[in-house]
Structures are given as structure tokens and as C-alpha cells.
């Protein structure tokens, strides 16, 4: 391996396509373990990328990740086929910093569970009963009672995912903002959400939480029977994604605003 090249690790999702691509790529060069790598090459879809990023945050060893799409959407990934060698693509790639969310959920029994979220933290009703939520921002109650199916807090990286399908705003990377978006709001009927500064602390309390149970999902982690959730961005734990030139995440987020 050339001294001028970073040490690369190769990881793949368990799908057949990703496993086949891993077998092919592993024979092309020398690889190191993820614990020794300067850059991780991830083969899979957006869900697998989120798993890799969450593992890095949990183990406190964060290195840049270059994703290759072998999933469905691949919003966080690069395309599989290219005329350039992988090493050249990585060397030319643009680095995009992503700040995760930190979620702290307290259940009706007083249990506290925490998790990171790269895309969004969403609260959802568990039963046919409409959720009734109190929303506080930076210590001030902004909405005493929101009757809805749920509400979510999205990062710029996640603003084109669940947030967009819930009619939330698209946030450019580097905007240092968060989207607070209701899901099927009933009262106040005209409230369509808010754009908040990244340093805001958001507290969402479930009113009548036993009669009207809600759950919270931080990317892929779910906590049920939630009484209160605290959410804030954590820019001190920035993650780095690598994208081919002209295909970076900020360009994709920008392009989404012009798609019909």
C-alpha cells in the first residue's frame, strides 16, 4: 500500500449485493480493520450508513466514511459505478461535516434512555388515541398542547427524509438550524412547524401519557411509553462523510428543493 494513501477499512451490509461487492473489492488492495483505519469504505444503503455512524459515536472513534450505494435510495452514499479507481475517488472526495442529535427519553416508569440521531428524532402515537404534546424550547413553553400523530426534530442531513415527507422544510448543510415538524397536526390546526437554531434545547412532554401513549424513535432506536424527550444538536461530535465531486450531500439537499 502506498505511503501517500490513507489506511482504508472495508465494511459491508449483509445483503447479497453488498457481500458480492465486498468480495470483489477486497481482492483489489490491502485493507485494515476499522479500528486501525483513517477512512472507512461502507458498502450498503442509507440504513447501513447510519449503523456505521452510530457505532462510531458509541465507541468514540470517529473517522471519515466513504459510502458506496448498494441499497435503495443511497442519499448518503456514492454511486457504485465509476471510471475512476476507488483510491482516486476517495482522494478527490469532498468532506461534509454532519452534527448529530442527542436524545434523552424518560419513560412513564422513570427509566431514562439516550441515543444519537443523524437524521431525526420523532415522537409518534402508539395507539388510535391522538397524542397531546407540550413543546418547550430553551426553557419556554411554546405550544402548551399540540394534538397530532406526532412531531419530529430533524437535522439538515435528515431534513430530506421523514421530515420532508411530513411537509417539513429542507435545511441546507451549514445552516446550523434544526427543523421542528408536526406530523398530521389537528390542533393548532394551522401550525406547520418551526426552524430553530442548532443550539436550541427542545423538550417534548407527552400529556396524558398513560391514556395517550407515545413512542420516540432516534433514527433506528425506539423507546416506548415515553413521558418526556429532550433533544439538542451535538456539534462537538461532528461526523464526516465523503462524496464524489459534484455529488455531495449539500448539492443533493439543494437539488431536492427543485424536484416535483
Q: Which residue numbers belong to the known binding site for NAD(+)?
A: 46-47, 119-120, 149, 157, 160-165
CA separation for the pair 66, 39 (Å, rounded): 7
Q: Is 250 a catalytic residue?
A: no
**Which residue in 176, 221, 182, 178 sits closest to 202, CA to CA?**
178
Binding-site residues from annotation = 46-47, 119-120, 149, 157, 160-165
- Which one of 16, 38, 46, 244 is the catalytic residue? 46
CA separation for the pair 224, 27 (Å, rounded): 45
**Going by C-beta distance under 8 Å and a sequence separation of 6 or more, which residues neighbour residue 65?**
39, 40, 41, 42, 49, 52, 53, 56, 239, 240, 241, 242
List C-alpha distances in Å: 143 to 132, 180, 184: 10, 12, 16
Q: Which three cell numbers stand for residue 120?
A: 431525526
Residues taking part in catalysis: 46
Amino acid at each position: 500500500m502506498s505511503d501517500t494513501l490513507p489506511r482504508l477499512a472495508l465494511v459491508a451490509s449483509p445483503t447479497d449485493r453488498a457481500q458480492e461487492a465486498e468480495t470483489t473489492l477486497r481482492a483489489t488492495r490491502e485493507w485494515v480493520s476499522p479500528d486501525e483505519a483513517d477512512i472507512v469504505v461502507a458498502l450498503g444503503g442509507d440504513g447501513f450508513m447510519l449503523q456505521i455512524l452510530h457505532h462510531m459515536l458509541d465507541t468514540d472513534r470517529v473517522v471519515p466514511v466513504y459510502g458506496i450505494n448498494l441499497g435503495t435510495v443511497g442519499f448518503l452514499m456514492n454511486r457504485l459505478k465509476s471510471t475512476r479507481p476507488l483510491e482516486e475517488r476517495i482522494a478527490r472526495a469532498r468532506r461534509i461535516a454532519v452534527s448529530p442529535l442527542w436524545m434523552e427519553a424518560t419513560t412513564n416508569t422513570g427509566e431514562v434512555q439516550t441515543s444519537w440521531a443523524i437524521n431525526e428524532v420523532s415522537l409518534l402515537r402508539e395507539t388510535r388515541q391522538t397524542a397531546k404534546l407540550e413543546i418547550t424550547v430553551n426553557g419556554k413553553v411554546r405550544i402548551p398542547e399540540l394534538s397530532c400523530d406526532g412531531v419530529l426534530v430533524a437535522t439538515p442531513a435528515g431534513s430530506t427524509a421523514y421530515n420532508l415527507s411530513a411537509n417539513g422544510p429542507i435545511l441546507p448543510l451549514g445552516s446550523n438550524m434544526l427543523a421542528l415538524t408536526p406530523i398530521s397536526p389537528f390542533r393548532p390546526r394551522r401550525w406547520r412547524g418551526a426552524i430553530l437554531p442548532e443550539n436550541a434545547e427542545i423538550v417534548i412532554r407527552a400529556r396524558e401519557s398513560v391514556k395517550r401513549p407515545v413512542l420516540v424513535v432516534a433514527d433506528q432506536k425506539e423507546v416506548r411509553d415515553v413521558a418526556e424527550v429532550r433533544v439538542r444538536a451535538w456539534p462537538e461530535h461532528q461526523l464526516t462523510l465523503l462524496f464524489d465531486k459534484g455529488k455531495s450531500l449539500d448539492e443533493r439537499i439543494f437539488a431536492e428543493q427543485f424536484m416535483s
